[in-house]
């Protein structure tokens, strides 16, 4: 062997020896406990027990997606608890739940040995725990995504699939005056909300469906028209004063509502905020809680990436709240029909879309093979594995 060949062999061996552990670490392997932190508090995992609010219902749905085999077309989960990739190992109501890997899962045993879900963690604490390595996975409010990323947290952002909108409640004098609704809609600076409040996480919303889903969202204007709003408001005999309700537990709703006050005030519309307790159960119930307000802020998760299904669901849920045309969207509605219906809702200004919010997930550095779920899908934790937790 020539010295040159020997040298090549030594170098190659050294390089192989140095890279071999790295490659083995990047390969999926079993083991490890994924530490998850959520903001919601789940009081019961019994499917028969209704959740006290929408946040709890959503968290419960995520847990159900991990312990049930699959979801039916009506949204319910099939099989028995534990038929999914994980089984409930420990359960402390309203505090924590530990899910253990289900070796009998028909899709194959998940890589993780367990998933420990800590409940009731505040957004700031979740970001802090992620930055400090005390948590592996957590949902992060979109407005804190930038801060989390600057703190060293891996951030995974979905397509914007959550609509933040303002809904006028029927029967209220302010809600029934179309000039008031139009003036307020024109006064809103959605770009400022996205850029400043959401720290550029999200999109201005002009329609009821996001651009990535409908392909027609660009047809709806999202630009502010302060002079037009002012001119409209000045036509009203008495300066309009709107009582705007928002979820007192939702920081984003509060800051957006406060910004709406600023924009509306510039147009000559007075707005008073009314913090309200988080509505429980279905979104439609929120109307009862907000019976005393003229309008309210809502957040709506797209249940499906399918634009027709999403719009139909939206109209089904919020049509009665806003006093819209109760006619359902036909099952075989064409994109044109869907657009016309969507445009009709938006032009009435009874529902004023504000911004589309993405789902933002914070991940620790050791989480691997995370795929951002699509609207309606649960967390794909069965495919996730943890780096450094070799079997």
Partner 1 sequence: MTFRSKLFVVFALALLVSVGLIAAGVTVVTRRAFAELNRQHTDALVAQFQREFERQEAEVAHRVQAIADGEGTVRMAIALSQPQADVSTYVNDARGVAQSHQLDFLDFDGSDGAIISSAEWPARFGYKITWVTQPQDWAALGSFLTKVDTQDGPALGLMAVSTVRVGDNDLYVVGGQRLGKEFLGSLVLPAGMRALLYLNMDPAFQAANLLDPSGPVADADRFAPIINQEREHPGEQTFKISWTADAASAEMFHALPLMGRQNDLLGVLLVGSSQHDAVTLERRILLLALAVVGMGLLFGVLLSWWVAARVTRPVRKLAEGARKVSQGNWGARVDVRGSNEIGQLARAFNRMTGQLTEQRERLIQAERVAAWRELARRLAHELKNPLFPLQTTVENLQRAKESNSGQFEEVFRESTGILLSEIENLKSITGRFSDFAKMPQPELASVNLNDVVRGAVKVFEAQFNAVGRPPITPELHLDENLPVIQADAALLHRAIENLILNAMDAMPAGGVLMLRTTREAGEVHLEISDTGAGLTSEECERLFTPYYTTKQHGTGLGLAIVQSVVSDHGGRISVESEASVGTTFHIHLPAKPPPMTIPISAPAAAPHDREGA
Query: Residues in the site for partner 1, rule: CB under 8 A?
Result: 146, 189, 192, 195-197, 199-200, 255, 258-259, 261-262, 266
If the CB atoms of residues 125 and 266 are measured against partner 1, the closer one turns out to be 266
* CB 199 to partner 1: min, Å: 6
Closest CA to 75 of 60, 90, 97: 60
Q: For residue 235, give every residue at least 6 positions away whose Cβ sits within 8 Å of its Cβ, in sequence order, or none.
A: 179
If the CB atoms of residues 264 and 381 are measured against partner 1, the closer one turns out to be 264
Residue 150 token pair:
């600057």
Distance separating alpha carbons of residues 117 and 164, to the nearest angstrom: 27
* CB 243 to partner 1: min, Å: 16
Residue 265 token pair:
């005030």
If the CB atoms of residues 194 and 351 are measured against partner 1, the closer one turns out to be 194
Residue 125 token pair:
């604490």
If the CB atoms of residues 144 and 276 are measured against partner 1, the closer one turns out to be 144
Distance separating alpha carbons of residues 174 and 112, to the nearest angstrom: 54
* CB 207 to partner 1: min, Å: 24
CA distances from 382 to 81, 220, 387 (A): 16, 39, 15
Q: Cβ distance 198 to 253 under 8 Å?
A: no
* CB 189 to partner 1: min, Å: 7
Q: Cβ distance 310 to 303 under 8 Å?
A: yes
If the CB atoms of residues 59 and 183 are measured against partner 1, the closer one turns out to be 183
Distance separating alpha carbons of residues 73 and 71, to the nearest angstrom: 7
* CB 185 to partner 1: min, Å: 18
If the CB atoms of residues 271 and 363 are measured against partner 1, the closer one turns out to be 271
* CB 225 to partner 1: min, Å: 15
If the CB atoms of residues 257 and 310 are measured against partner 1, the closer one turns out to be 257
* CB 254 to partner 1: min, Å: 9
If the CB atoms of residues 262 and 291 are measured against partner 1, the closer one turns out to be 262
* CB 262 to partner 1: min, Å: 5
């Amino acid at each position: 062997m020539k010295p040159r060949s020997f040298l090549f062999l030594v170098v190659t061996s050294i390089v192989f020896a140095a890279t071999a552990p790295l490659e083995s670490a990047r390969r999926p392997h079993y083991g490890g406990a994924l530490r998850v932190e959520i903001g919601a508090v789940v009081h019961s995992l019994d499917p028969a027990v209704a959740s006290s609010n929408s946040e709890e219902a959503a968290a419960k749905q995520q847990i159900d997606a991990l312990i049930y085999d699959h979801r039916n077309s009506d949204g319910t989960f099939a099989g028995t608890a534990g038929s999914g990739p994980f089984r409930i190992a420990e359960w402390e109501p309203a505090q924590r739940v530990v899910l253990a890997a289900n070796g009998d899962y028909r899709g194959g045993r998940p890589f993780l040995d367990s998933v420990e879900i800590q409940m009731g963690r505040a957004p700031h604490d979740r970001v802090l725990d992620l930055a400090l390595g005390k948590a592996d996975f957590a949902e992060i409010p979109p407005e804190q995504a930038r801060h989390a990323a600057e703190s060293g947290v891996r951030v995974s952002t979905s397509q914007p699939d959550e609509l933040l909108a303002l809904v006028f409640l029927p029967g209220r004098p302010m809600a029934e005056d179309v000039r008031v609704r139009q003036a307020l809609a024109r006064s809103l600076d959605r770009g400022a909300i996205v850029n400043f409040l959401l720290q550029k996480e999200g999109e201005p919303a002009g329609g009821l469906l996001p651009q990535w889903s409908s392909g027609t969202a660009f047809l709806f204007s999202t630009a502010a028209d302060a002079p037009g709003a002012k001119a409209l408001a000045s036509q009203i005999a008495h300066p309009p004063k709107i009582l705007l309700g928002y979820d007192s537990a939702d920081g984003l709703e509060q800051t957006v509502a406060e910004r709406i006050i600023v924009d509306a005030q510039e147009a000559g519309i007075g707005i008073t905020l009314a913090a309200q307790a988080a509505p429980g159960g279905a979104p439609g119930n929120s109307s009862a809680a907000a019976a005393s307000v003229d309008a309210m802020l809502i957040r709506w998760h797209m249940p499906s990436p399918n634009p027709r299904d999403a719009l139909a669901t939206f109209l089904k849920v919020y049509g009665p709240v806003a006093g819209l045309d109760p006619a359902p969207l036909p099952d075989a509605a064409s994109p044109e029909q869907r657009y016309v219906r969507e445009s009709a809702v938006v032009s009435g200004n009874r529902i004023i879309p504000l911004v589309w919010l993405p789902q933002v997930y914070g991940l620790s550095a050791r989480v691997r093979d995370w795929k951002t779920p699509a609207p309606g899908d649960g967390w794909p934790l069965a495919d996730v594995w943890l780096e450094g937790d070799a079997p």
